[in-house]
Structure 1
Amino acid sequence: MEASTSNILQYQTIPNESETGELFEFEALLEIRERDGQRGIASRPNNFRSTSNTTRRLSPSAITINNNNDGSYIDIEQQGFFMRRDRDKLVLVMLKQTAGPRHLRVKNCFGMLLAPGRNLRQSDMHLLEMKSAGQGQHNPRVYVIEARWNPGAWNFEVLNTETPRDTRVFMSVAVDVTFEGLDESLRFIIECKARIFQQYERFWFPPRRAVSETYRLLAQKTMNELSADPCNVIHDDQLKVVIFESTTERERQLSSSAFDGDMERSPTRHMPTQLIHPANGSDSDSDEPLLSGSGDVCRECSEDRLAAWNEMIDLWKQTPEQRPYGLNSLIHDGIPDVLRGEVWLLLARIGPVQADLVQAYQMLLEKECPSEAIILRDIHRTFPAHEYFTEENDKGGQKALYRISKAYSLYDDEVGYCQGLSFLAAALLLHMPEEQAFCVLVRIMFDYGMRELFKTGFDALHLRFYQLQCLIKDYAHELYSHFHEIGIETHMYASQWFLTLFTAKFPLQMVFFIVDLFLAEGMNTIFHISLALLKDSNKELLHSDFEGILKFFRVNLPRKYRTEVAARELIHAAVKLKISHKRLSKYEKEWHELKRQEIESQDPLERAQRESQGLKEQILRLERENDYLARELVTSKICLQERLDTTEDQLETTLNQMIIKNRDCEELADRERKLREESEFIKQKCRDEVARLEEEYRRSEGVIVEYKKICTELGLASDEDKRQFRKLKRFIASKVSGCDRCSNELADCLDLSSNSQRPSSSLSTYDGEGSSVGSTTATNDTSAMHMMELVEKLQQYEQHIRQVELELAQTKLALVESQCQNQDLAHQMSVSTLLQNGSYSVNDNRPAWLRKTISSLREVAQAHGVTGSGFSSGSEENNVNFHSKFRQHQRSSSNASTTSTNHITNKYTGSQTDRR
């Protein structure tokens, strides 16, 4: 073991038996008191009596009911302390040596430490403020240590927080003490559980047992040299601590040795364990019962078994009033979970449509229920371990359970709502809708006789207790004698079995098996199951005392059947028990006879006193219930006021946010209205512009058609003029063919004037014609005059051709300009459309594919000068170049024609002069 700075010795392992030494035993008692508002903390009791158990019963006068404002002990039950939050407390630890060869007197106490959790390390403990430490007034062998505890400190937050229902929190209290004759200080650690309530909670529990712990100390004698001077050596008996351990630690080590071996445990390896202890914990040292609704349900089923059940159900549905042969043998093995809801309906004789019960159920839900408060209180206790009935579940298990309980309390006026009825309804809800669950519950209560157990006076329930007691006497006589000897009565453990049909404490798998058998066999199933439970636990019950038996029924018995195999074996054992109806009828007659004799033997005064005592107890119970309801009312009012304040704050915040949002909405509405007006204005302008452009486009198309028509007519006229010109040339050529000179001159002139218009083959034809004519009557004056006239006509025709070609060029130019203008208008119209749709901007925010398409079209237009529909809008410079080149060509053609005509005329005049 590692030595700490304070030389405090904690738990160690057990040494070998060969070691020798002195053995001492100590006992420590832990008490916690709370500070009141007027008289401070109540004084501690002065007496301290030793017990051999791990718990001690306090004097009834030492604990008061905490319903006023005086200091008092904290109530204790088997689950630990009941404490209230935000109240200063006084922690008292009383130490006493109970065994040993000599008395070890306490020399000093270093301090008291406290921490939430158990099995803690030294560093996890927190020091409390010491108030006093010293010997007891009436018993000097008792050492009393008192310390103040402020639960509001941050390190005690866990112990100052309200614990959930059926949950406890572990806490550890330690005191460091030095003894005369010991070389080391000892740390006494007491581990316990506590439940934290609200600050103004009042407890109605009678005095309970205080928490106590026993310790064992093994020490060896050593010789200590008190002086370094060899002449002055004084020897004194000193004890060296070998082992110091508590009973709890010893039991914990023994239980863990089966898994971990005999490893030595070091204080540095101790870690806090189980700070919050749930009620359904499975650890061996827990005395908490299983929560209702706990346990896993096996949904697996073999194909053969499922096929047998399906065949049985199909046969059963043909005759629902008659159960098929072999059904009970299948039920004894358990109904498959996937078919359990359907089989329960058939067993309870609930048809597919129960119009009367379903309609009554819907009508009852609309009525007010006087037992609503009790139902709501019990719902939170029903199957808290099942996720379907938790408050966080969205499926509404608690709501459905509330509706069924409310509807039945109104449906059965004589019985009303019965405590424990919700457990059976919850088991039904896990396999069918709430309407069907209500119908099955009504059948169980009326047809199976369950409601007789809840009637006023509970005579039928006491009859069942008597019958069960007689059956125990017949089937387990030794257990009956043991119960009778220690004072265990049947109602102490069997009342919950009868009233809840074993659904309140046992695991779900066993609950479903019992409901299967109950719906098939009836009320006698409870006797079979009860006897099977007692016979299966006969050995444990025979070796237990009064409190042990009650704890066994409450805690250990349900834990034995958490597995499907154990539950199925119990059902088989219950079925094998032979309980005849005649035997139960005999017991019933005996009970009625005993009741009659009891009534006859009663003294009227004694009976009146008994009734008066019963009424007093009822008044006391009602007063306690009234106080409980009043406390709940005050708590509810406080909670409602807090929720109201929170809601008002949230409402004010929401209203402010709503005002801001309304203002934003108004601004957005104004902006939207303006944008709509602008949009309508732009749309109207776009429509007007589009109409104007369409009108101009139509006019341009008309002009273009007219230009095309004119161009066509001019082209035809030009072709006709050319044809006449060629005809005239042939005629002139034929006339001058007789004169070689004239023919040659004429050929030269024609070749000069029309070399760009006429192929060379034509000239060769003219040359051939002129050369073949020979010399004719060219010298004739008449033919010369006629030649002049022809030349003049030729000039006129050429002039006319030039005018026609000029008009044609002008028409083509106008056509090109109109096409350019038309394309410009179309472009403006497309831009207006894009502006209207919001997809065009100055920065050219057009899509990428559209920009690429337009750029490609422009490149093609620049390359070719025109597009598929004419000249492009971007080729105006090309149009200008075309017009200039066309005019130059016209001027050159005209000049060439004039030159050629003048040349012919001059030659002809010169030839005539020579001839003269």
Structure 2
Amino acid sequence: MNGAGDFSGDYFGGSEADSLNQVNEDDPNQSTEDLVLMSGYGSVSKDCSQEILEKWDQVLKEWTNTGTPVVSSPIDSPDNNLVFSFGSSMKGRPQPKKVRHLVRTVGVPEALRGEVWVRQVGTEDSEELCTKYREFLDQECTNEDQIKRDIHRTFPANDFFKDDQGPGQEALLKIAKAYAQYDQEIGYCQGFTYIAAVLLLHMPEEQAFCVFVRLMGLFKLRELYKQDFYELKLKWYQLDNLVKDHIPTLYYHFQSIGLKSHMFSSQWFLTLYTAKFPLYLVYRIYDIIFSEGLAFLLNIALALLREASDELCRKSFEECNTYIKANIPRKYREPPAAEELIRKALQMKINPKKLSLYAKEYHELVQREERLKDPMERLKLEQQESHSKIMALEAEAVNLANELVNAKMDSQRKLETVEEKVVHIQAMFEKTHHELAEMQEQKQNLEAQVEEKKSRLKRQKKVSISSLKQLVTSKSNDTNQQRDIVAEYRKLCSRLEQERDTQTDLVAKLKETLSQCQSCKDSCNDLISSQESRSSHVANGSTNSAQSHSQNPDASQTSESDSLAMEQELALTKLRLVEEQSHNQQLEHEVAELKQMVSAMSASANQSASSAAQWLLKRTPNFLSRNSVPNSSTPNAHNSHHHDIT
């Protein structure tokens, strides 16, 4: 057994693999979270819709009728280091453009999967390789004992492989022995049997061997199994960097708990995800690998970790190991979940340039490690690194010196700028201080003026209030006098009415008496004439009425003239009374205005004194002039009224 077999045994062989594969899902004492699927778990139905079958049938016909065969598929070139190189009979035909689209969207129907895989690797007519296969079976294999020990651990959950000495295990043994002799550089690795088992479930034994050979050489799968495992370690390095780019939280969590990607991804890559995942998902992964190459291994790994990142970031080292080995495969037992994972893996944008950059970085790391193994080379490398460091330090010193000089010059310029700003600020401060002193002086002057105006307003307020009180008292006295005059007038009117009634009665009696004596009647006429002249003077020049009364000697007419004059005088007196009442109401209204004015003056005592004084001076003369007119007119009215009454 070569080194490759020993390395793979760490990940597939031994008691750990046995214990994982022997987990019984029906055991009630086992936790569901800790169950690990056995390899070969699940079944894949051959049922498929008629529409999909018709699409694939059309593609296969086009594939068959495609022109001249080509030497290799568009994925990779065959490896020339194999013991048996590919012959012309193993040349394939170019893959139609529709194949890639169908593989990505609907997958290959289970009934056509074997045929499609064979065409994709170009082994439709591989009689030469089949002949060599039969020859290898007749030869002894140094790895036969190791192969026999590992066979029973391959696909124990599948009926075709679970029986010892059964047809499945026999076919696996033959393919493993034949390839160990076919590719002596690689020899045998336990991971071979998982890949071969998938092929045996879709095609005959010899055809499965041919496809396996082409998969190992044409797709460069054998590079993962070489002695130094360079390509496998490169996959680990690329996966680490992709996780760091796409799932940084998970990357740093793995770093913190010490979980390395090779602890779980080795089995994924070396078996093409066959060892622990359900068959439906495995077949879909193989569909895409046969169509697009091994680069899809990184897509599916990244998709698996991204989908489980939330759970993994909450777990410890042991819990993460268990979760990756047991829980992640169990999530994709159903076809819909598996298809969703494939869809997300295909959507992963992995830049080929980045992969090339990671490959270059890893190559430089490997070269460095190789050089460090030789003491002289290590010394030279250390000397070169020391020289590089010295040069870098010298360059850094020069840069620092330049930066120091520049910084000093910048500091000097900044200092000068700051000094100028300080001088400017000091000047502004002195100016502001002077302005502040002036403003404080102005404030004191204004406060003194305000106090003076307040005191002046208070004095004016007292004088105004005193004047108003005197005015109100005077108006009240005038009102009382007018009320007395009105009362006296009413009494006089009542007395005159009584006298008029008495005179009316007397006139009636006189009429009755005079009607009996002619001489008395003449004397009475003379008396009535004189009385009418007096009545005409009292009646304010009513000449027409006096003449009519003088011509009429009747005593009743004289009494009526007196009554008419008295009624006119009474009407004039009532008119004056109404005017006095209106004047009194106006005086009361002005008194109310003066009271409001006094209140406003009290409220605005703290305001500007000049405006308040002007307002008061403006309002007070108007008020005094307005009130002086009734006072002057009242005595005249009273005198005329008294004269009329007299």
- The two structures have a TM-score, normalised by structure 1, of 0.35
Question: Which protein has the larger Cα radius of gyration, Structure 1 or Structure 2?
Answer: 2
Structure having the larger proportion of residues in strand: 1
TM-score by length of 2: 0.50
Q: If each structure's helix is expressed as a fraction of its own residues, which one has the higher value?
A: 2
